[in-house]
Structure 1
Amino acid sequence: MLRYPDVRELMQQHGYVDVRLFYEEIGCHRGHSPNRYFDEVWYRQRYPEVRRGLLERRWASGFEHYCMEGHTHLSPHWLFDETAYRQRYLELTDQHLAGRGFCNGYDHYLSYGEAHGFQAGPFCDLRLMRQMAQKYDVWFGPEGLLASWLALPAHIADAAPISWYFDAGWYLETYPQVREAIEAGEYGNALHHYLTNPTPEAFSPSPWFDEDYYRRTSPDILPSLGGDGLRNGYDHFVLFGASEGRSPAEGVDLARYRQSPLVWSDCEGGVFDSPFARFVAEKNGQAVPVAVEEPPLDEEQTRQLFREDATLYLPVLARQKLDFRVRGMAEVSVIMVVHDQIDLTLQALASLRAGYDGAIELILVDSGSRDETAGLEELVEGAIILRHRTNIGYLLGCNEALHHVTAPAVLYLNNDVRLYPDALHHALKRLYRLETTGAVAARLVRTNLYLQEAGSIIWRDGATYGYRRQDDPNIPEASFSRDVDYGSAAFLLVKTGLLRRLGGYDTRYWPAYFEDTDLCVRLQKIGARIVYEPLAMVEHLEFGSSGQSGSHQLIQRHWKVFAQQHQEFLRHQQPQHIRNALLGRERRRPERQRVLLIEDRIPLRGLGSGYVRSNDIVRALVALDYHVTVFPVMRERTPSFLLYRDFPEEVELAFDQDMSTLPAFLEERAGYYDLLWVGRTHNMARLLPLLNEASRFLLHCGSVLDTEVVAAPRALLQQDVTGLMADGTAAKVLTLAEREKELDRLLADELQSAHYCRQIVAVTEHDAGLIRRAGYPNVMVLGHGMELVPTPRPYGERRDILFLGAFHGEASPNYDSMMWFVEEVMPLLKALPDDVCLHIAGYVHPSVDMTPLGRHPRVEILGAVEDLSALFDRYRVFVAPTRFAGGLPFKVHEAAARGLPMVVTELLREEVGWQAEETLLSAPGNDPAGFAAAVERLYDDEVLWQHLRQSALEAVRHDTDLEQFRHRVKQIVTASLN
C-alpha cells in the first residue's frame, strides 16, 4: 500500500477488502510487486524468458514464475544476486541449504545470513547499513536491514553509502536528471536508478569508476556486454575486474594498490571483498591509508628513535633479569663487545633471548665502559663477563672471548642491533645444512627500514658493497639464500672449529674495520662457504657501537691492508661498478649453473593445473644445485610474503615482473643465465618475439620448452565430447582421414614456436610421439615426482566421494568432468546410501560459476584446502571423471600416493598406463552407468578397496620416484646445454 498509493482507491472502486486477493486478481497483472523483497518490474526486465512467458499467459506475474521455478536459479531483486551469493559462499550447496530448511540462497540470506554477517552482494554492505542507521538515527525494523532500507524515503536512503561500489551523493550531483526521475516516482532512490535504468552504459556509479574509460581500456569485455550478458562495463568490473586489478578510472592503479600486504590482508580477512572496495573506503577515511609511494624516512630521526626505544628496556630489565644460564651443552656462543651504551646492549640481548629459546653461552666483553655496564651482572644472569679497564677495541675483545667458547658455533653480534623473530634459529639451520658451510650472514636492515646489505660483495680493488643497499628489504633479490663474499659481523655466525683454526680475527685490523671481510676471505681460502640467509633478519644502527668519529680514516687504512694481503683472491673478483653487482652478489662455483624458469604465474602448488609439476621442477633444480630464478608471465596477485612458503629458500622469485618487463630484465642480466626453461607452449608462442629480440642477452644460454601438455588431441576430444568448437560453434563430424589431417594442423600451430628451444619436454611418451610427429626429434619425457604419504584412516571409518582439482575456467576439463558426473552419474548411484555425498575440493577462479554443481542435493563444494592429508583421510572413494584431457593426470597420481582408491575414465587410465581392476577402476567417459556401477562397487567392497589401495601405492611409487624425477631433470638440462 505504501509502494502503490492508488491501490486503496482501486480496491474501493472494485469492491475489494482483502489486499492479497486484490493483488492476485488485479495488482499482479499491473506489474505490482507483492512485497519489498521482490521487484516485479525489474524481474521482468532482467529475464526475457519471463517476459515471453507472461505474454503467452503461462504465468500471471513474474512473482508467480519466481515462486514456481525461478527461485532455484534467478534473482528476485536488484539488490540480491542469487548466483553471486552462492558463488561467494561455496558451502551453500543445495544439500547444505535443504538440510537446514532453506529453499534457496535468498531464503538463507533473509532468514539466517543477514543476521550472521553474510553479504547480500556488492551493493549491500551490512556494516555500512548499520553505520547509516546509527548516524541518521534510522530504525531498522525486525524484518532486517535490507528490507528496512528499501522502505526508506529517497532523501534518507541516498544520504549515506550502503556500498563501496556506489556513491549516491556523487551520482545525484553528476546526473541531475536522476533526482528528477526519483521525485517523479519513477525510482525509489539513486541506487535503484543505477541498477535498473534502461541505459546502464550511460552512467558511472562513483568518481572512482569511469564507464567510458573502462570500456576503452578493456576492449576484451565488449563482446560480453549487452543483451542477455553483462549490463555494462561496471557489471564486469564488479564481478571480475576489481579482483583482477584492472584500472577502473584514469590514474587509479588498482594492480599496484592490491600488492600492498595491508590491502591483501584486509581483503583475504573479509574486511573488504575487493581491493577496489578498500580503495574507495580509504578515500572515504574508513580504511588505513596505504602509501604506494612512501617518502624516505629521515635516517637521523630513525636512529634517534632506535636509541629511544632502547631506553624503554631499562625499567623492565631492572626488575627481571635476562636469563642466559646454560643447562647442559651450549648450542651457540654469542660474543658481544660493549663499550658504554647499556641501553643498546640490553635491547640487543633482549631481542636475542626473545627470539631463541635454546642454550646460548653469552660472552660479554666490557671494553672499558664508564656507565651502568659495570652492573651488568645485576641485569643479565648466566653470562660470562670479561672486564677491561681501558677500551681494548672490538677485535681484541672478540679474540679474547674466543678462548672461552665451548659451543660448536660462534655468533659475532653487535650491541647496536635488534634481531627479528627466529633470526638465530634460521641462521643455525643454514649453518648446519651443508658440511661445507663455514659462516652465515644476515639480512641487515638499517633503522630507516632500507637495506644495509643482503650479503656483501668484495670488488677487485678490495672495496666492499652491501648488495642492494638502500633498497626495500623485501625485494626478490634480497629474499633468497646464496653463497656470498662476506657478511658484516654485526651478525655473523661461524663454526667454532674453523675460527680456532684461523686464530680468530687478524690483529692487523685492530681495533676494527675489514676484520670481518678478511675473516670471510680466509674462511673461503680453506674451503668454507659464506652463505647469506634472508630469514636471519636484523635491524642495525650503523656505527651505533663505534660512532662515526675517525671511522673513515680507519676504513681507508684497513682497506689498503686488506687489498695488499689478498691480491690473489681479489684478481678473480668483479671490478667495482654497480652494474657488476648482479654478477658479484653470489660466489659462483664453476659447476653451479643458473636457470631462468618462465611460467604463467609463480607456480604455487595450490593452483593445480600443472603448477604443482612446475613447482616440483623448481625444487628438483634446486636439489641438483642449480640457481633458479622464477619469472611469471602474468604479474603475481598473491602478496610476495605468501609466495616463499611454497619454495626452497634458495629460489629467487621475480614476483615484481611480468611479460612487459622481460626485455629490460634480460638486458639487465645479460649473460647471467645458462639455461632458459619456458613452461607451457602458449608461453613460448607469446614470448618468441621478445626472445628473438633479446637473444643477444642470452648468449651461450641453453633453452627448454616444457610443453606440460600437448593440447591438440585434447582439443579434438573436447569437440567430440561437447560437439562444439572453441568459439562455441557446432563442431563438424570428421572422418578418420580428416581427423588425422586436423590433428597435424593443430600440432603444427601449437608447436610452431618450439624451434627456438634446444630441447622439448613432454610429460608422457604419447605426447613425445606427437611432438616428433610435428617434426621435432629433440624431445625428452618428464612425468611427475611424488612422495608417498598414504593416509591412515581405515576403510570402515571413511565415507563420501572426493574430487580434487583446480577450476580455472568453465571450459576446463575439470569443470566439464564435474558437470558430467553430477548431472549424469550421480542420479545413477542408487545402491549407495542417500546421505553419501560428492565433495569437490580445489582452487576456484573467481570467474567460475560453481552454483550449477552446488544445486545438486548430494554435492558439497569445499574450495581450496590447505591440509591435503586431512582431506584425503576422510573419504572412501576418489573420482576423476575426465572426458577430455592431455598429458599426465596429476590428480590420479596424487590420490594414489595418498592411499585413496579411485574410479577414473578410460581416458585417464590410458594416460597413466595402469591396469583396470588392478590399480584402479575405470569406465568410458560416455558411459555414466558404467562409471556409477564402478563407484558403487568400490564404495561397498572393502576387499577390493584394500587391493586397489596397495596396488596403486606400488604403481605410483614406481612411476613417480623423486630420485628418478630429479635424474631426468638433470638429463634434460645437460642435453639443453650441450
Structure 2
Amino acid sequence: MKTGSSGDVSPRWLAFQPEWYLLRYPDAQELMFQHGYDDPQRFYEDIGCHRGHSPNRYFDEIWYRQAYPEVRRGLLEKRWKSGFEHYCAEGYHRLSPHWLFDEVAYRRRYMELTDRYLAERGFRNGYDHYLSYGEMHGFRAGPFVDVVLLQKMAERYEEWFGSEGLLASWLALPSHIVDAEPISWYFDASWYLKTYPQVQEAIDAGEYGNALHHYLTNPTPDAFSPSAWFDEAYYRRTSPDILPSVGANGLRNGYEHFVLFGAHEGRSPAEGIDLVSYKRHPLVWSDCEGGVYDSPFARLVAEKNGQAVPVEHEESLPDEEQTRQLFRDDAALYLPALARRKLDFRVRGMAEVSVIMVVHDQIDLTLQALASLRAGYDGAIQLILVDSGSRDETSGLEQLVEGAIILRHKVNIGYLLGCNEALAHVTAPVVLYLNNDVRLYPDALHHALKRLYRLDTTGAVAARLVRTNLYLQEAGSIIWRDGATYGYRRQDDPNIPEASFSREVDYGSAAFLLVRTGLLRRLGGYDTRYWPAYFEDTDLCVRLQKIGARIVYEPLAMVEHLEFGSSGQSGSHQLIQRHWKVFAQQHQEFLRQQQPQHIRNALLGRERRRPERQRVLLIEDRIPLRGLGSGYVRSNDIVRALVALDYHVTVFPVMREQTPPFLLYRDFPEEVELVFNQDMSTLPAFLEERAGYYDLLWVGRTHNMARLLPLLNEASRFLPHCGSVLDTEVVAAPRTLLQQRVTGLMADGSPAPELTAQEWAAEQDKLLAEELRCAHYCQQIVAVTEHDADLIRQAGYPNVMVLGHGMAVRPTPRPYGERRDILFLGAFHSEASPNYDSMKWFVEEVLPLIKALPEGVCLHIAGYVHPAVDMTPLGQHDRVEILGPVDDLDALFDRYRVFVAPTRFAGGLPFKVHEAAARGLPMVVTDLLREEVGWQAGESLLSASGADPAGFAAAVEQLYGDETLWQSIRQSALEAVKRDTDLEDFRHKLKQIVDASLN
C-alpha cells in the first residue's frame, strides 16, 4: 500500500502505455511514419490526443468526452487538448475516467476514502486507490466488476492476465474472451449478444470493444436490458417514481437506478421476481451481509447460474422421529470424551444454584445435559442427582461427574418423589429443576438467574423450550379454564416476535424451571398427589402464584428438549388425564379466572393480566433503533420508559424491517414485543387478531397518523376503549418554510418565493392545518417543546402535552489536553435532511475559515448514512473524515475537543445538543438550535448565526483553543442537560400523557 504524501508514486492511470497504445490504434504507426515520429508518446501528445486516442487502458477518451458536457465545451474552447489532460488537471477529483469505474460510487461505498485519508496514504483519488490497493484487497470497483469473478476468469485464461492487475488485464482482452465469461452478476454478455444481434455487428465493426462496453456507452440506454433477470420496460412501468430521475443528465436508465438503489430496496426487476421475499431468507441475508454478494439480486442471478446455494429447493427439515434420534446420537458422541475427563461440579464456598436432576438409565442423555449445563455456566452449582433405579452405566456416575451429590434408589421412585427428596439437600438460594433429556443453549442459566433476581416478586423463571425438530415446545405455557394446558406458540419458529419477549405467564414446564428455594420449602416441594409425574409443575406454579409469587418467561433461557425423552410416552396419556382431573378439582377458584380453551384465546392467555398493567401498541416508521438518530432515539427512550413504568409494549413498524431480528433486540428491554415481521399492509389483520387487546395506541410522527387514519377509522372496532396518542416528534411546518428560505428551493426543486412576515405567518398557518388534519383522532397530542405545543394549540388542538428528551448524564473523563479534533454526530437519511445541509454548509463555508487550530485538526462526521445519500461532497475536503455509524458512543465522545451542530433549518428539540452535553463535550451550534434548547449563549454553549460562517468559525476556534472557556462551558452544559432531560421527570411526564389519554 502507498504511504506518504500524494504523488510519492504516480497513479497507474497517469502513465502512457506505448505497447498498449500501438495495439489499440493500429493506424498510429503509419501516421507516426507519415509525420516523422519515432516516439509513440510524443505522437500521442501532439496528434493522437486530438484524434480521440486514449493514452492507456485505464482511461477512455471518447467515453469521457461524451459523459461530461463541460469537458466537451472545454475542448471546443481549446482550454484542453484532450479529455485526459482535463482529467489529470482537475477531473480526477470527482469524475470517472472509464465506463467501468465510477469515482463517486466507489467513494460512496467506502466512506472512509475522504480526500484526507487518500492523501495521507499517497493516493491521488479513488481510482488510484482501487488500482493500487483496493482490487487486491477485495474492494469493489463497481457493480459491473466483481473481483471474485475476475479471479475465476484469470485462472481460466492465465496466459492473458499479467502483473498489471485483474481489471487492467481484462481491459486488454479480445472481445470473444471478454464476452464468454461474466465479470459481474449484473450483466450477462452471452444473453445480451443473443438477444441483440446488432450489438455483435457493432463490435465486429470496431464501434465497441465488447458487449458490456456497448451496454454502458450506447446512445439509447433505455432500449436494452442487461440480462434475462431485468426488464427495463417493466421496471420503469412498476417504479414510476424513478422516472423524473432518469435521463437529462440524471440516471442513465432504469437499470442504473435499480443497481444503485432498487436491488437493495427489494424492488422487482422483472415479472415474477419477488426480491422482498427472497432477501428475507437467512441464506440470502447472510451472503449479502457477509459481502459475498453485493445485493439480493446479485445473489439471485448467481443462484440461477448455479453459483449459489438455491433457497427455493432447500431440503425440508427431517420429521421429529428423525431429529429425536439425532439428538440421542449426538448424546452418544459425548461419552468417550467425558469418560476421559470428569465434569467438575465441586462447590468452593457457597453454591449459587442447586440443580436437581432425576435420572433413570440413559447415561448418554444425562451426561449431554450436564455437559451443556457446565459449559454454559461457570458459577458455583450444587448438583444433586437422584438415581431412580438405573440399570445401565448410571451406576458409575461418580467416575464421570465430580462433586455431585448422588442419591441412589434400587427401584424407580419416579420424578416427583426424587425431586422432593433432593430438596432436603439443597443449600443454594435457588433451585433449578432440570430434565436429563435437554441441551442448554449458551448462558441459558445465567439469563434465567438474572431474570429471577430482577424483581423480588418473581418466584420462578420458565425457559424457551425448543423441540429437536427446531420448532417451539413452549414460550411460556397457558392454563385454560378447564385445567388443560397449552405451550404458547407450539409448532412455531422459536424466533417469532411472540416468543421473543419476557412476560409473566401461568406456568413453565419443569424440563427447565428455576425456583426460589425458600418458596419451594414453604410449599413443601411438589404435591405428591401428582406422583409419579404430570401436572406436578403446573400445580407448583399455581401454588406459587397463590402466595403472591410471579412466574416469568425468559426467552434468553433457551433449551432444546427431547420431549418425553426421560419418561417415554408409554402409559403417559392415561396418567395425564387422571392428573388433569385432580388439578382441575384442586384449583377451581384459580381456573375460573382463566381463558376458555381455544387457540384464539392464546393471545389473551399468554400473559398473566394484572388489572393495573396496561398494554400499549406503539407504531413508528420503523423499529426505532438508537443508531438511526432523527427522532428514533427519543422513540426508543419512550419505549424504555413505558417498560420502566410497567406497561406492556408492542412496537409495530409502518415499513417492514430489513435489519435482521437478532440485531434489533440489543436496543430494547427484554419485555418489549417487536413485531419486526409485519408492516402497514398487515396492520388491519394484526388489529383484528388482537381485537380488544390494547389499552393505548401511540403513533409516532404526524405523517404516520395521516397514513394510518383511514385504516384506523375502519379498524376502530378492534380498538374498543383504546386511548390514542399522536407523538408529533416535530411540527414540520416552520421547518419547511425555514428550509425554503435557507436553500431558496421548494420541495420540487423550483425556486422558493420570498415571503413577507405576513405571508410567512399565513403560509405557516396553512401548512399547520394540513399537517395536523389527522390529529382529531387522538385523545392527546404530544409535542417536544413548548414552542411546538403553542403551534399545535394555534392550529386548534388544545389537547397537547410536552415530552422532550430523557437521558442520563455520563460525562466522558478525558481531560481537555488529551482531546483532539471536531465531531459531528447525526443521521443522514436523505440529502434534503437538515444534517446533510448543515454539514455541506460547514465543510464548504465554515471549515475553510478555521485557520487558528493546530495543523492536522479535522472534522469527523459520525452517524447512520442511508445508502441513497452521497457523502462524497463532504469527503472532498482535506480536513474531513467520515466515520459512518459508531456503536460505542462513550468512546467516541471521549476523543474529541469540540462538538459542532451547524443546523440551518430544523424543528422540535435537537437531540444531538443534549447528547453531546450529557457526554461532557462542549459545543458550537447555530442560534436556531440554541433557541430550541433555550440555553444561554456563552454559558452552556457557543452559538452563531447559520448565515454567518465567519462567526461560526471564530466560535469554533475560540472554544477549541481556550481551556478555561472549555471547562466552563462543559460544566454549565452538564448542569443544563441534567435539569432539562432528567429521566424521572421524563417518565413522570410520560405517565401523565398516558393517563390523560386513557381517562
Q: TM-score range by the shorter chain?
A: over 0.9
The residue number in structure 2 matching 1:355 is 376
Determine if the alignment matches structure 1 residue 269 to structure 2 residue 323.
Answer: no
Q: Which residue is 1:821 aligned to?
A: 842
Residues 686 and 349 of structure 1: is their aligned pair in 2 closer, same or farther, counting only changes over 3 Å? same
**What does 1:113-192 correspond to in 2, within 5 Å?**
113-192=134-213
Letter in 1 for 2:920: G
Show the counterpart of 1:453.
474
Pairing partner for 2:425 from 395, 404, 407: 404
Paired amino acid for 1:92: L
* CA–CA distance in structure 2, aligned partners of residues 596 and 83 of structure 1: 43
**Alignment deviations for residues 238-295 of structure 1 (CA, whole Å, 9 cap, x no partner):** 1111221222223332222323344334333333332222333333343444459773
1:932 to 2:958 alignment: no
Shift of 1:28: 2.1
Deviation at 1:806, TM superposition (A): 0.5
Q: Which residue of 362, 368, 377 maps to 1:341?
A: 362
What corresponds to 1:493 in structure 2? 514
What's the offset of the Cα at 1:135?
2.5
Deviations 1:631-662 (A, max 9, x none): 00001010001000000000000000101111
Q: What amino acid sits opposite 1:921 in the alignment?
A: L
What is the 5 A alignment of 1:301-312?
301-312=322-333
Q: Which residue of 2 aligns with 1:684?
A: 705
Give runs of aligned pairs for residues 686-701 of structure 1, distance below 5 A.
686-701=707-722
* Structure 1 segment 61-460 matched on structure 2, within 5 A: 61-290=82-311, 295-460=316-481
Residue pairs, 1:446-525, within 5 angstroms: 446-525=467-546
Distance 2:132 2:413 in 1: 77
Map 1:748-787 to 2 at 5 A.
Answer: 748-787=769-808
> 854, 875, 879: which is aligned to 2:875?
854
Cα distance, 1:208 vs structure 2: 2.4
- Answer yes or no: is the 8 Å Cα contact 1:362–1:383 preserved in 2: yes
Give per-residue Cα distances to partners, 1:319-359, cap 9 Å, x unaligned: 01111111111111111111111111111111111000011
State yes or no: 1:28 paired with 2:49: yes
Secondary structure at 2:191's aligned position in 1?
helix
1:715 has 2:736 as partner:
yes
Shift in Å at residue 177 of structure 1? 2.4
| Residues 515-561 of structure 1, C-alpha deviations (whole Å, 9 max, x = no match) | 11111111111111110000000001111111111111111111111
Aligned to 2:691: 670
Aligned partners of 1:177, 1:405: CA distance in 2, in Å? 86
Q: Is residue 992 of structure 2 the alignment partner of residue 971 of structure 1? A: yes
Q: Equivalents in 2 of 1:911, 1:183: separation in Å?
A: 67
- Contact 1:260 / 1:639 at 8 angstroms: preserved in 2? no
Any residues of structure 2 matched to 1:552-951 within 5 Å, and which?
552-951=573-972
1:784 & 1:510 partners in 2: Cα distance? 56
Whole-Å Cα distance in 2 between the matches of residues 242 and 821 of structure 1?
A: 33
Q: Tell me, what secondary structure is at the counterpart of 2:915?
A: helix
Name the stretch that deviates more: 424-433 or 199-208. 199-208
Select between 110-119 and 122-131 the one with higher mean Cα deviation.
110-119
> In 2, distance between residues paired with 1:769 and 1:430?
44
Larger displacement relative to structure 2 (666-675 or 114-123): 114-123
Q: Distance in 1 between the 2:314 and 2:837 partners? A: 45
Task: Note the residue ranges of structure 1 that are not aligned, 5 or more in a row.
Answer: none
8 Å Cα contact 2:924/2:955 also seen in 1:
yes
Distance in 2 (alpha carbons) for counterparts of 1:187 and 1:518 = 81
Deviations 1:855-892 (A, max 9, x none): 01111111111111111111111000000000000000
Aligned partner of residue 873 in structure 1, secondary structure: helix
* Distance in 1 between residues matched to 2:313 and 2:974, nearest whole Å: 51
Aligned length: 978
Deviates more, 1:552-561 or 1:180-189: 180-189
Provide TM-score, normalisation by structure 2. 0.96
Q: Is the 8 A contact 2:160 2:173 kept in 1?
A: no
TM value normalised by structure 1: 0.99
Contact kept, 8 Å, 1:257 with 1:292, in 2: the verdict is no
Separation in 2, partners of 1:294, 1:894: 50
SS in 1 for 2:749: coil
Structure 1 SS opposite 2:280? coil
Once the two structures are TM-superposed, the CA of residue 118 in structure 1 deviates from its matched residue by 2.0
Q: Distance in 2 between matches of 1:33 and 1:947?
A: 61
In structure 1, give the amino acid aligned to 2:701.
Answer: R
Query: Any idea what the Cα deviations from partners look like across 1:378-426, whole Å, max 9, x if unmatched?
Result: 1111111111111111111111111111111111111111000000000
In structure 2, what is the Cα distance between the partners aligned to 1:898 and 1:291?
49
Task: Please report the RMSD computed on the Cα atoms of aligned residues, expressed in angstroms.
Answer: 1.3
Cα contact 1:72–1:104 (8 A) shared by 2: yes
CA contact (8 A) 2:618 2:697 kept: yes
Q: Distance in 1 between matches of 2:394 and 2:307?
A: 48
SS at match of 1:453: strand
After superposition, what is the alpha-carbon deviation per residue over 1:705-756, rounded to whole angstroms, capped at 9, x for unaligned? 0000001000111111111111111111111111110000010011110111
CA distance in 1, matches of 2:143, 2:29: 36
AA in 1 matched with 2:486: Y
Corresponding residue SS for 1:937:
helix
Give the 3-state SS of the residue equivalent to 2:699 in structure 1.
Answer: strand
Separation of aligned partners in 2, 1:878 and 1:601: 28
Pairing partner for 1:16 from 37, 61, 64: 37
User: What amino acid is the match of 1:553?
Assistant: Q
Moved more, 552-561 or 306-315: 552-561
User: Deviation digits for residues 453-477 of structure 1, max 9, x if unmatched?
Assistant: 1001111111111111100000000
Equivalent position amino acid for 2:76 in 1 = L
**Alpha-carbon separation, structure 1, partners of 2:346 and 2:122:** 63
Could you tell me which amino acid in structure 1 is paired with residue 968 of structure 2?
H
Which deviates more from structure 2 when the two are superposed, residues 636-645 or residues 123-132?
123-132
Give the Å deviation of 1:11.
Answer: 2.3
- Residue 192 of structure 1, CA deviation: 1.2
Q: Which residue of 2 aligns with 1:54?
A: 75
Distance in 1, matches of 2:43 and 2:156, equals 39
> Which whole-Å deviations, capped at 9, do the CAs of 1:882-941 have from their partners, x for residues lacking one?
000000000000000010000000000000000011111000110111111101110110
Q: Which amino acid in the other structure matches residue 642 of structure 1?
A: L
In the TM superposition, residue 117 of structure 1 has moved relative to its aligned partner by: 2.5
Q: For residue 80 of structure 1, what is the amino acid of its counterpart?
A: F
Measured in 1, the distance between the counterparts of 2:284 and 2:376 equals: 28
**Which one-letter code corresponds to 2:400 in the other structure?**
L
1:643 match: secondary structure = helix
Q: 8 Å contact 2:154–2:166 — kept in the other structure?
A: no
Structure 1 residue identity aligned to 2:653: P
